[in-house]
């Protein structure tokens, strides 16, 4: 059976004594699934995986997401697998806290990232626990935020506020205006209830959020600025130092993450898959 050991007080666990290149038994799967909901980030060190292996493991959690606008960045024959390659000619992209793809109507349940090549120093990924971020707010703030929604717009993440992402797409012949020009903004509750754990979590994502619905621009900006600082609280955070062969899966419904872009010009190669939705279905409003 897998051995599960916490990696920080806030979140995360290391899972050993399991080979993800092999089919999981039902007992192994139930242990991993329970650990995922308990710890939100699972670290599987020292794995030797093909893309098929990663895909098989990821699909145990739900259907995999394919984004048409990112197909030029995927592995041939695997539209659900993004190849994230950075080196001297391809500097890192997004360098801020976020949760994946919140600018779409149905954001992904989770992300599975496998490390093939890692820099000798730098390139860590930080994770922040949005359960704790919600629970550490005062009751009046929880009550107010629980009644609010925010507007999330995918175009914002690839626009002038985040030029590094736009430049990265252009290198792959992906035109931002062409891909996102007709896209519509979406509205998500600021507080969401996890469908499996039933715990409430803060749900904002700076690259995508444009406003808080129903508030003036000044009011919304003041609240968002506070929340963006709040999620950086050290007691909410686990910092992962990557090694080749690490596979991580994390829960986008209750976490934010930050891939630190401090390793240029060194090489970093990762394979990423997003899990669209599991058997428990969509998130619910608080």
Q: Map out the domains of the chain with their CATH numbers.
A: 3-280 (3.60.130.10)
Tens of pLDDT, residue by residue, the chain (286 residues) = 999 999 999 999 999 999 999 999 999 999 999 999 999 999 999 999 999 999 999 999 999 999 877 788 899 999 999 999 999 998 887 789 999 999 988 899 999 999 999 999 999 999 999 999 999 999 999 999 999 999 999 888 877 776 666 666 666 666 666 666 567 899 999 999 999 999 999 999 999 999 999 999 999 999 999 999 999 999 999 999 999 999 999 999 999 999 999 999 999 999 999 999 755 545 544 4
257 annotated active-site: yes
274-148-100 Cα angle (round to 5): 15
CA distance 256 to 108: 13
100 is catalytic: yes
- List 152, 188, 253, 272, catalytic entry: 272
Q: Annotated catalytic residue: which of 240, 257, 268, 277?
A: 257
**SS3 of 16, please?**
strand
- Catalytic residue, chosen from 53, 100, 246, 251, is 100
Count, in order, helices (H) and strands (E) of the chain.
8, 18
Vertex 261: Cα angle to 260 and 267 (nearest 5): 115
Helices (H), 114-162: 130-135, 139-145, 154-157
Q: Rounded CA gap, 37 and 194, in Å?
A: 10
Cα–Cα distance for residue pair 160/158, rounded to 1 Å: 7
Respond yes or no: is residue 98 known to be catalytic: yes
Catalytic residue selected from 39, 53, 98, 246? 98
* 272: annotated active-site residue: yes
CA angle 126, 184, 133 (to 5 degrees): 30
């Amino acid at each position: 059976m897998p051995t599960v050991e916490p990696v920080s007080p806030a979140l995360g666990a290391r899972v050993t004594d399991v080979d993800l290149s092999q089919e999981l038994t039902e007992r192994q799967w139930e242990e991993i699934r329970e650990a995922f909901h308990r710890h939100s980030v699972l670290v599987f060190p020292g794995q030797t995986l093909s893309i098929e292996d990663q895909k098989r493991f990821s699909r145990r959690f739900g259907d995999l997401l394919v984004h048409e606008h990112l197909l030029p960045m995927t592995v041939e024959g695997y539209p659900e697998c993004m190849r994230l390659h950075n080196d001297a000619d391809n500097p890192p992209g997004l360098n801020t806290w976020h949760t994946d793809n919140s600018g779409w109507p149905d954001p992904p349940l989770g992300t599975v990232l496998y490390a093939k090549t890692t820099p000798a120093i730098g390139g860590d990924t930080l994770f922040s626990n949005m359960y704790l971020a919600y629970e550490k707010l005062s009751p009046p703030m929880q009550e107010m935020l629980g009644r609010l929604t925010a507007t999330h717009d995918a175009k914002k993440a690839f626009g002038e506020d985040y030029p590094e992402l736009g430049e990265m797409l252009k290198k792959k012949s992906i035109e931002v205006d062409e891909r996102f020009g007709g896209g519509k903004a979406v509205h998500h509750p600021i507080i969401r209830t996890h469908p499996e754990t039933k715990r409430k979590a803060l749900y904002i994502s700076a690259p995508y959020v444009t406003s808080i619905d129903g508030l003036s621009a000044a009011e919304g900006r003041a609240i968002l600025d506070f929340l963006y600082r709040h999620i950086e609280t050290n007691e909410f955070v686990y910092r992962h130092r990557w090694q080749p062969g690490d596979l991580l899966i994390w829960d986008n419904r209750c976490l934010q993450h930050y891939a630190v872009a401090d390793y240029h010009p060194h090489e970093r190669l990762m394979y990423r898959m997003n899990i669209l939705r599991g058997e428990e279905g969509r998130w619910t409003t608080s």
